[in-house]
Amino acid sequence: MAQTLDEYGVVLVTASSQAEAERIASALVEAKLAACVNLMPIRSVYTWQGEICSDEEWQLVIKTCLHHFSKLEAKVRSLHSYETPEIIALPILAGSPPYLQWIREVCGSKTL
């Protein structure tokens, strides 16, 4: 079975709390929009509405098939407390074939 690596990606989302991050992660995995989501506490320094801010947040590292991005983005937006949440996709340039196959199987990817 041929694999195209541009099919796979990591989506980064930050959340305001551990509870919010867990709620988003669970919803994405349950909906099969993500094969796996890692959660970790971080500190972010950023500009918002002309002010420099520094906040504790939770980083979600979402492994998915990129053809799901629009649905994934909509699901995150529907659950997220931020007005403008971070939702960015990065392509996976290389990966273990069995792991990529697992992502495809879990997410129900039809792109090969």
> What pLDDT sits at residue 5?
61
Question: 85 lies in a domain?
Answer: yes
Q: Do the beta carbons of residue 66 and residue 8 sit within 8 Å?
A: yes
Question: 47 lies in a domain?
Answer: yes
Which residues lie across from 56 on neighbouring strands? Answer: 43
The one-letter code for the residue type at 102 is W
Question: 112 lies in a domain?
Answer: no
Please give the residue range of the domain that contains residue 53.
Answer: 5-107
How many domains, in total, are found in the chain? 1
The distance of Cα 57 from the centroid of its chain, to the nearest Å, equals 15
Q: Where are the alpha helices (DSSP H) in the chain?
A: 18-30, 69-79, 97-107
> What pLDDT sits at residue 4?
59
Which residues lie across from 91 on neighbouring strands? Answer: 9
Q: Which one, of 33, 42, 31, lies nearest residue 11 by Cα?
A: 33
1-4 LR contacts (CB < 8 Å, sep 24+): 1/101, 1/112, 2/112, 3/97, 3/100, 3/101, 3/104, 3/112, 4/111, 4/112
pLDDT digits (tens, 9 = 90+) for 31-83: 999 999 999 999 999 999 999 999 999 999 999 999 999 999 999 999 999 99
pLDDT digits (tens, 9 = 90+) for 14-45: 999 999 999 999 999 999 999 999 999 999 99
* CATH at 27: 3.30.70.120
Tokens of 5: 């690596």
> What pLDDT sits at residue 3?
53
